[in-house]
Amino acid sequence: MVKPIIYLDYNSTTPVDKRVLDAMLPFLTENFANPSSTHLFGISVNEVVKDSRALVAELIGAEQGEIVFTSGSTEAINIALKGVAENYSTKGKHIVTVATEHLAVLDTCKFLETRGYELPIYL
């Protein structure tokens, strides 16, 4: 008898909640236009993105302009680390991380190192 597999890497990916799937399905099958496009399909999808941004902002008590949707964790990590580094660069250019950090974090930190940031990596 084969035992069922237990998936423990929920940091990497998780199953999609049925409610999310139901909400997203029309945009994966019918209304799949680029929301940055200027044609009618793109404009209509852009309105849905704006509504979603407003909903998320309201749920967490943020401003709509503070909500940024990304395609995944690597993009989010890049935006966050580069944004924080730039925003606080006048206070110093020292970034601390560990060698066991996710590769997306380490790669972004290494990029920032080429821009003058100090990057000691601790084990």
Looking at 66, 82, 104, the residue that finishes a domain is 66
Assess whether 78 and 43 both reside in one domain: no
Given a contact cutoff of 8 angstroms between Cβ atoms, the answer to whether 123 and 99 are in contact is yes
10 in a domain, yes or no?
no
* pLDDT > 70 fraction of the chain, expressed in percent and rounded: 98
What is residue 120's predicted lDDT score, i.e. its pLDDT?
Answer: 81
Assess whether 114 and 83 both reside in one domain: yes
* Residues 105, 76: Cα–Cα separation, whole Å: 10
50 in a domain, yes or no?
yes
Give the pLDDT confidence of 79-105 residue by residue, as tens digits: 999 999 999 999 999 999 998 898 999
Domain span holding position 39: 18-66
pTM confidence score? 0.70
Assess whether 32 and 50 both reside in one domain: yes
Q: What's the number of domains the chain is made of?
A: 2
Residues with Cβ within 8 Å of 13's Cβ and at least 6 positions away in sequence, in order, are none
Give the pLDDT confidence of 48-74 residue by residue, as tens digits: 999 999 999 999 999 999 999 998 889
